[in-house]
Amino acid sequence: MQLTPLHIKGGRPLSGTVAAQHSKNAALPVIVASLLSSEKVTLHGIPRLSDVVTILDLMHHLGTQHVWVGENSLELHTPEILHNDAPYALVSKMRASFIVLGAILARTGQATVSMPGGCAWGPRPVDQHVKALRALGAEITEDGGNFDARRTQALNGTFAFELLTVGGTHNAILASVLGDGVVTLENASIDTDVVDMIEFLNALGADIQGAGTNTLVIRGVSALRGGAYTVIPDRIEAGTFMIMAAATRSRVQLTNIRPDHLQAVSAKLRDMGVDVQEHDTTITVDARNRELQPVNITTQSYPGFPTDLQPQMSALLATVPGTSVVQDPVYPDRLTHVAELHRMGANITVSGYTQVIQGAKLHAAPVKAADLRAGAALIIAALTTEGETVIDGVQYLNRGYERLSERLRGLGVDVQQSELALAMD
Ligand SMILES: CC(=O)N[C@H]1[C@@H](OP(=O)(O)OP(=O)(O)OC[C@H]2O[C@@H](n3ccc(=O)[nH]c3=O)[C@H](O)[C@@H]2O)O[C@H](CO)[C@@H](O)[C@@H]1O
Ligand SMILES: C=C(OP(=O)(O)O)C(=O)O
C-alpha cells in the first residue's frame, strides 16, 4: 500500500513523555504460538501495526478466529488447523511468518510453508531453522520455493545452532512443545523475544526450561490450555525514541519500559555524553546543552547493541562532530539508510559492513525509506535539520511504529501526514 509521505520540519527540541508500545517482535511469535492450543487465548499488549495485520491474515488462513477485545488486546482461537500450508502470498510479506512452520508441524504433523521473501536489505537465510527441525526428527523437503515438513513422531533429541538465531530458536521451540519427546537446544538465542514466547507457552502448560540461557530443554506435553498473557514493551521502539531525544539535544521521558532490556543502548548513549536515568518502568534521556561525542558501535545478538537500532544510531552519529565507526556484522547489508542520509548531507563511507561516519550538519531533502528501521533513521536525521524533509516509504514505518505521527506530535514534532487507517478487524 502506497501512503502519503511524512513531512517533518526539524530544528527544534522535543519535550514531554511518550509511552513505548508493546513489542512487535515479541508479539508476532506469541500470536503464532497461540496456534499450539485449541483453546481460547487472550493477548494483551499487541501493537496495532501492519505486521500484526499480516500475521493475522495468515492465521485466518490456517483456521484461527480472532477478535480485538480492546485497543491492544486480542482474543485468538484455533479449534483446529484448517489448512497446513502457508502460501507465498502470505509469507512473502513478512519474514517472521516462517515460524508458522514449527507450529503447524507440531499441531498436525505436516506443514508446507513457502520460503520467506527476500528482505529489503539482503539475504536472510533459514538454513538453521531447517537443520534444527531435521536434526530433531522431522523430514523436510524443498520444492518450488516451498518447504514441506513432516513428522511421524514427536520431535526428540539435541540440536546445537551454528549461530545465534532468534527466529530459528522460535521455530525449533514451537515444533517441540507438543508430544512425548524431549528436545535440547544448545546455543539457543537468549533474546528477549524468545524469552517472552517461552513464558507465554509455559503459562499455557508447556514445559520449557532454561529461558534466557543458551540451553533450552523442552519436554513435550500432550496439549496446551488457553490463557491470557501480556507481551513485553518494545525495546527497539523505545530505543528509537531515546536516540531521537539525543539527536535533538532534548529531554524526553519514556514510560512502559524494561530498562534491563535497553542496557546496551543506554550505555552507548552515556558514552556519548547523554544523561540516561533509569527507574522501574521509565527511562529519562536528557541531552540538553550537551556536546555529544562520537562512538564506535558493533551490533551483536542480545544483550549486545541491536542491529534493529543500527540505522537510527548511524543517523544520530552522522550529526555528531568527529569520527564514529559503526559495524553491523549481524546484517552486513543493512545499509539502505546510507544513500538517503547522503542526500541530507551526511558524510558516511561504507566498506563491507563498516560505516565510517564523520559528523556533519544535515540539511532537509526529499528521501525514501526502503525498510522499517531505515525509515526511523531518516526521521531522526530530519529532526536535526532546519528545513522540511519529506520522507516517502511510510508503509515500512507502519510495520513497526504504532500511531507514529500522532506520538511524534505529542513530543512537539512538526509532522504532517494523513494518518493511516489500518484495516484491523
Ligand atoms: C520479526 C523479528 O523478530 N525480526 C528480528 C529477528 O529476525 P530473525 O529472527 O530473522 O533474525 P536471526 O536472529 O535469525 O538472524 C541473526 C543472524 O543469523 C543469520 N541466520 C539466521 C537464521 C538462519 O537460519 N541462518 C542464518 O544464517 C542471519 O542472516 C543473521 O545474520 O532478529 C533479528 C536479529 O536480532 C532482528 O534484526 C529482526 O528484527
Ligand atoms: C527487521 C525487522 O523486522 P523483520 O525481521 O520482520 O524484517 C525489524 O523489526 O527491525
Contact 186, 160 (CB under 8 A): yes
Is 255 among the domain residues? Answer: yes
Q: What is the chain's mean pLDDT, rounded?
A: 95
Once rounded to an integer, what is the mean pLDDT over residues 113-140? Answer: 90
- Any atom of ligand 2 within 6 Å of the Cβ of 373: yes
- The closest of 69, 35, 68, 36 to 52, measured between CA atoms, is 68
Q: Which of 190, 210, 230 delimits the end of a domain?
A: 230
CA of 254 to the centre of ligand 1 (A): 27
Once rounded to an integer, what is the mean pLDDT over residues 38-59? Answer: 97
Band (320; pLDDT cuts 50, 70, 90): very high
Is 170 among the domain residues? Answer: yes
Structural domain for 106, as ranges: 24-230
Tell me: pLDDT of 420 over 90.
Answer: no
* pLDDT score of 424: 44
Task: Let me know the angle formed at the C-alpha of 177 by 174 and 182, rounded to the nearest 5 degrees.
Answer: 120
Alpha-helical runs (H) found in 272-366 = 310-317, 336-343
Contact 234, 401 (CB under 8 A): no
Mark whether 253 and 350 lie in a shared domain.
yes
DSSP assigned state of 146: E
CA of 80 to the centre of ligand 2 (A): 29
Atom of ligand 2 nearest to the CA of 373: 10
In sequence order, the β-bridge partners of residue 7 are 390, 416
Substitution site in 30, 170, 330 for ligand 1 pocket (most atoms within 8 Å of beta carbon): 330
CB atoms under 10 Å from CB of 42, counted, come to 18
Once rounded to an integer, what is the mean pLDDT over residues 143-165? Answer: 96
CA of 47 to the centre of ligand 2 (A): 15
Ligand with minimal distance to 123 CA = 1
- The total number of structural domains in the chain stands at 2
CA of 420 to the centre of ligand 1 (A): 28
- Any atom of ligand 2 within 6 Å of the Cβ of 400: yes
- Any atom of ligand 1 within 6 Å of the Cβ of 392: no
* pLDDT score of 421: 44
Mark whether 155 and 208 lie in a shared domain.
yes
Ligand with minimal distance to 117 CA = 2
Mark whether 209 and 246 lie in a shared domain.
no
Residue with cell 517533518: 8
Query: What digits encode the pLDDT tens for the residues 373-410?
Result: 999 999 999 999 999 999 999 999 999 999 999 999 99
Mark whether 10 and 61 lie in a shared domain.
no
Tell me: pLDDT of 48 over 70.
Answer: yes
Mark whether 82 and 196 lie in a shared domain.
yes
ipTM over 0.95: yes
Q: What is the dihedral of CA 171, 173, 178, 183, to 10 degrees?
A: 130
- What are the E-state strand segments in 53-95? 65-70, 73-77, 85-86
Mark whether 43 and 80 lie in a shared domain.
yes
Mark whether 316 and 217 lie in a shared domain.
no
Cis check for the bond before 303: say yes or no (omega within 30 of 0).
Answer: yes
End-to-end CA distance of the chain: 17
Residue with cell 564506535: 296
Mark whether 129 and 270 lie in a shared domain.
no
CA of 334 to the centre of ligand 1 (A): 12
Alpha-helical runs (H) found in 85-165 = 88-91, 100-108, 127-135
Q: Which of 171, 198, 230 delimits the end of a domain?
A: 230
Query: What digits encode the pLDDT tens for the residues 66-77?
Result: 999 999 999 999
Contact 331, 300 (CB under 8 A): no
Is 67 among the domain residues? Answer: yes
Tell me: pLDDT of 179 over 70.
Answer: yes
pTM metric for this prediction: 0.97
Ligand with minimal distance to 236 CA = 2
Catalytic residue, from 53, 119, 356, 390: name it: 119
* pLDDT score of 407: 96
Mark whether 260 and 407 lie in a shared domain.
yes
Tell me: pLDDT of 212 over 70.
Answer: yes
- Reply yes or no on whether 119 is catalytic: yes
Kindly state the percentage of the chain with pLDDT values over 70: 97
CATH number for the domain harbouring residue 144: 3.65.10.10
Q: Which of 230, 258, 286 delimits the end of a domain?
A: 230
Kindly state the percentage of the chain with pLDDT values over 90: 92
Is 95 among the domain residues? Answer: yes
Which residue would you say has higher pLDDT here, 408 or 423? 408
* pLDDT score of 136: 98
Query: What digits encode the pLDDT tens for the residues 96-116?
Result: 899 999 999 999 999 999 988
Band (418; pLDDT cuts 50, 70, 90): low
